Amino acid sequence: MLQRVQTLYFILVMILLSTLLSGVEIFGFSTSKNYLSYSVYGIQSFKSEANAPLGKAEHLEGSILFYFIIAFVLFVYFAMMSYKNLKKQFRLARIVALVYLVGLVALLLAGSLGLLVKGAVAIQLGLGYYISVVGMPFTYFAFKGVKKDKDLLESLDRLR
- Domains of the chain: residue spans and CATH: 5-150 (1.20.140.150)
pTM for the model: 0.82
CA distance 66 to 42: 8
Q: Are 6 and 146 in contact (CB under 8 A)?
A: yes
Burial of residue 149 (CB within 10 Å: 0-12, 13-18, 19+) is middle
Per residue in 93-135, pLDDT tens?
999 999 999 999 998 888 877 777 777 778 888 899 999 999 9
Q: pLDDT of 7-33, one tens digit each?
A: 999 999 999 999 999 988 888 888 777
Listed in sequence order, the DSSP H helices in 21-114 are 65-81, 86-112
